[in-house]
Amino acid sequence: MTEALSPALARRIALAAQGFGRPRPAIPTARHFRDTARRLGVIQIDSVNVVTRTHYMPAFS
């Protein structure tokens, strides 16, 4: 049996799986970054430096 998901529910599930279902820490620490990296499994760092330093973008974009 196949269940259908609405686009809104699929979006909520995907965002929660990436850690966006919980409040953002007031002061991010190395532990928060480490937990994010473990949860996502991979972090892509591109060489574009327009808005902020590249290594800050994946965790807080």
Q: What pLDDT score was predicted for residue 60?
A: 57
Low-confidence ranges of the chain (pLDDT < 50): none
Q: Is residue 14 part of a domain?
A: no
Q: Is residue 5 part of a domain?
A: no
Q: Is residue 45 part of a domain?
A: yes
Tokens coding 50: 């327009």
Q: What angle do CA 59, 55, 49 make, to 5 degrees?
A: 120
Q: Is residue 6 part of a domain?
A: no
Q: What pLDDT score was predicted for residue 22?
A: 84
Render pLDDT for 51-60 as a digit per residue (tens, 0 to 9). 666 666 666 5
Q: What pLDDT score was predicted for residue 59?
A: 62
Q: Is residue 45 within 8 Å of residue 32, measured between CB atoms?
A: no
Q: Is residue 55 part of a domain?
A: yes
Task: Count structural domains, the chain.
Answer: 1
- How many residues are present in the chain? 61
Q: Is residue 54 within 8 Å of residue 45, measured between CB atoms?
A: yes
Q: Is residue 13 part of a domain?
A: no
The overall pTM is greater than 0.85: no
Q: What pLDDT score was predicted for residue 4?
A: 92
Question: Containing domain of residue 55, as a range?
Answer: 26-61
